[in-house]
Amino acid sequence: MLEVSDLHSGYGRIEILKGLTVNVPAGKIVSLIGSNGAGKTTFLMTLSALVKMRSGTIRFEGKSIEKLPPDLIVRLGIVQVPEGRRMFHRLTVEENLDLGAYTRRDREISRDRQELLQLFPILKDRLKYPAGHLSGGEQQMLAMARALMARPRLLLLDEPSLGLAPKMMEVVFSLIRKINQKGITVLLVEQNAWRALALADYAYVIESGQIRLKGTGKELLSSAVVKHSYLGE
């Protein structure tokens, strides 16, 4: 579904991604793990065209998307849940959700909202609350629900478990699986390597802007390098 080849990208004169090649097959969960500063967020931002790529190719469902602006990428179905959730704190939960549908012109937005709330029951009782009053875990759910309002085909998740208590983390990871079971392909970036690999069909390890290892989630869970550097074994 997504074929990224030899991708270079960065900020100003600094090159961060140094020839990244990553494939995400349709219907799967692909995880990308790596330490702080490895370039994970830069990668997702480059896919969303929020950071400009320098060279390489990005194909989505067979079509080159390197030159498309961010809103058209969302319209094609590549939707990101950014690191740190980024909601509009003064707007209500409901208003934040509807903003997720800003690229849509169809009339099924409120029906979709109703349907989504089945998946996120916590949000249902809080529709009229300002988003800023939600807990960290609730905000993560709102961020995910907002992204789903755009009807993604490929969902990009940047550190969805960051800063959450173990119980909430559990809820978030089980939601990711449910979202995938609805037919949405997932590219997940995580520092919680164990969980990300356990959930993934395929996974990559990124180090200093390059892919160090790749394999199935299972393979990487049993790799010596991963165990040593990312699982603390």
Ligand X SMILES: Nc1ncnc2c1ncn2[C@@H]1O[C@H](COP(=O)(O)OP(=O)(O)OP(=O)(O)O)[C@@H](O)[C@H]1O
Contact residues for ligand X, defined by CB under 6 A: 11, 16, 34, 36-42, 83, 191
CB of 34 to ligand X, least distance (A): 5
- Comparing CB distances to Mg ion, the nearer of 51 and 150 is 51
- Comparing CB distances to ligand X, the nearer of 49 and 116 is 49
**40 close to 189: Cβ distance less than 8 angstroms:** yes
- Comparing CB distances to Mg ion, the nearer of 117 and 189 is 189
- Comparing CB distances to ligand X, the nearer of 37 and 69 is 37
CB of 162 to Mg ion, least distance (A): 9
For the chain, give the DSSP string.
Answer: -EEEEEEEEEETTEEEEEEEEEEE-TT-EEEEE--TTSSHHHHHHHHTTSS-EEEEEEEETTEE-TT--HHHHHHHTEEEE-TT----TTSBHHHHHHHTTTT--SS-HHHHHHHHHHH-HHHHTTTTSBGGGS-HHHHHHHHHHHHHTT--SEEEEE-TTTT--HHHHHHHHHHHHHHHHTT-EEEEEES-HHHHHHH-SEEEEEETTEEEEEEEHHHHHT-HHHHHHTS--
Question: Among ligand X, Mg ion, none, what does residue 16 contact (CB within 5–8 Å per kind)?
Answer: ligand X
Q: Is 42 an interacting residue with respect to Mg ion (CB under 5 A)?
A: no
CB of 197 to ligand X, least distance (A): 16
Q: Is 96 an interacting residue with respect to Mg ion (CB under 5 A)?
A: no
Q: Is 46 an interacting residue with respect to Mg ion (CB under 5 A)?
A: no
Which one, of 110, 50, 103, 46, lies nearest residue 72 by Cα? 103
- Comparing CB distances to ligand X, the nearer of 117 and 196 is 196
- Only segment of 55-63, 82-90, 100-108, 109-117 that touches Mg ion (CB under 5 A): 82-90
Q: Is 192 an interacting residue with respect to Mg ion (CB under 5 A)?
A: no
**232 close to 194: Cβ distance less than 8 angstroms:** no
CB of 98 to ligand X, least distance (A): 28
CB of 16 to ligand X, least distance (A): 4
CB of 159 to Mg ion, least distance (A): 6
Applying the rule CB under 5 A, the residues between 211 and 230 that interact with Mg ion are none
**215 close to 203: Cβ distance less than 8 angstroms:** yes
- Comparing CB distances to ligand X, the nearer of 38 and 78 is 38
Interface with Mg ion (CB under 5 A) = 40-41, 83
